[in-house]
Structure 1
Amino acid sequence: MTQAPGPDGGPPPGSLRPTPPAALAGWAVAGLAIGWLVHPLSERVGGTAPVVSWTQPLALLLVAAILGAAAHATWRSVHVRRERLESHQAVNRLVLARACAYVGALAGGGYLGYGLSWLGSEAELGDQRLLRSVVAAVGGLAVVVTALLLERACRVPGDPPPA
């Protein structure tokens, strides 16, 4: 059954639009600016900038792997086996996907900004911080991509394409 469009010409009542790319870009830019400022501010205030360990990028990659597995399982359930998700399951997965997309964009931008702040630095651990921050930024990007895949997997066949 097809529902009539909403009063503003958007999706019908009770449906959601996909995560807007502009919102993700805004969170990534905010993270980039904050990450860039962490280096000079922490040196002024505390005397030393934070060290990025391998735990941070690996945690982001683990979250991306979990989201990817959830997206794959959801896609198979909804699109291959044509099973219907319970409404609370669909809402939970959509909320998880959207929240992870925003946080992944913010974290990825933050780590990228922090890593870029070390370019050309003569500091002892500058290269290490740069490398680990860039790997963490890639992890943040992976979280965003897998979160968007989970969001897409929740679409019910026959839904109108996003505008």
Structure 2
Amino acid sequence: MKPLSIPILVLIFVLSTGFGAQMLDTVLRRGHTLPISGWLTSAVLLTLAAVLLGYGLPLRRYMLESAERREHPSLQPRRHQIDLPTAFRTVLLARACAYTGSVMGGIFTGQALFLLLTGVGDPVRGILPTAAAALAGIILAVLGVIVERWGQLPPDDGQAQPEDGVEAGG
């Protein structure tokens, strides 16, 4: 599996920022009440980041121990254990969190900038919770990228790869 593309995540963030600002502009022009993010949005995004970190730390410990064992082989039992399906699910969760954080962080950044630049929103009840949700989304995206990189397998150590459809040993 190829690692996450940071430029794609930045592009998603920028497009989401424009969408968030445009959404509030459209709602305001039609004369409706602006939908403002509450503190619960930030709490949910940060809780998701904490869950990701809770799953990612055992993966990180296992990968660090594996790298250490490659350099200094040992017959001692492993200190950290993780099975392959759990590691794979953790990497997939990290990828999903990176995309979710990029979209949500972008939308709320656009909304916060719109409220700040137009002067429409109340600073304490509108701009501050929206900016906190934007920051929580950005934190989730960055943490998703970090945890996804923690689960990256090292390259093979010079093992022969079959070329042109010819199988090795055959």
TM-score band by shorter chain is 0.7 to 0.9
CA RMSD of superposed structures (Å) = 2.1
State the partner residue of 2:68: none
CA distance in 2 between counterparts of 1:125 and 1:44 reads: 18
1:98 Cα deviation from its structure 2 partner: 1.0
Stretches of structure 1 lacking an aligned partner (at least 5 in a row): 1-15
1:119 equivalent in structure 2: 116
- Describe the SS at the equivalent of 1:30: helix
Within 2, Cα distance between the matches of 1:120 and 1:23?
Answer: 27
Rg larger in structure: 2
Which residue, out of 36, 39, 52, partners 2:24?
39
Ranges in structure 2 where 5+ consecutive residues have no aligned partner: 66-77, 157-170
Return 76-85 or 59-68, whichever deviates more: 76-85
Contact kept? 2:52, 2:144, Cα under 8 Å: yes
Letter of the 1:159 counterpart: P
User: For residue 52 of structure 1, what is the aligned residue in structure 2?
Assistant: 37
Q: How many residues end up aligned between the 2 structures?
A: 144
Correspondence for 1:20: 5
Aligned to 1:93: 90
Structure 2 residue matching 1:18: 3-state secondary structure: coil
In 2: Cα distance, 1:152 partner to 1:94 partner: 8
2:75 paired residue number: none
- Report 1:120-135 matches (<5 A): 120-123=117-120, 125=122, 128-135=125-132
Distance 1:86 1:73 in 2: 11
Could you tell me how far apart the structure 2 residues matched to 1:122 and 1:88 are?
50
Task: Using the TM superposition, name which of 85-94 and 65-74 deviates more.
Answer: 85-94
In 2, the alpha carbon distance for the partners of 1:159 and 1:145 equals 24
Is contact 1:78-1:85 (8 Å) kept?
no
- After TM superposition, list the pairs within 5 Å mapping 1:3-18 onto structure 2: 16-18=1-3
Please state whether the residue corresponding to 2:116 is helix, strand or coil.
Answer: coil
Shift in Å at residue 120 of structure 1? 3.9
The percent identity for this pair of structures is: 26
What is the aligned partner in structure 2 of residue 155 from structure 1? 152
Farther off after superposition, 67-76 or 79-88: 79-88
Deviation, 1:122, is 4.1
Distance of 1:74 and 1:67 partners within structure 2 = 11
Q: 1:61 aligns with which of 43, 46, 54?
A: 46
User: What is the CA distance between 1:55 and its match in structure 2?
Assistant: 0.4
Runs of 4+ in 1 over 6 A off after TM superposition: none
Cα separation, 2, equivalents of 1:46 and 1:79: 56
CA contact (8 A) 1:118 1:127 kept: no
Write the distance in 1 (CA, Å) between the matches of 2:52 and 2:140. Answer: 7
Q: Distance in 2 between matches of 1:64 and 1:84?
A: 22
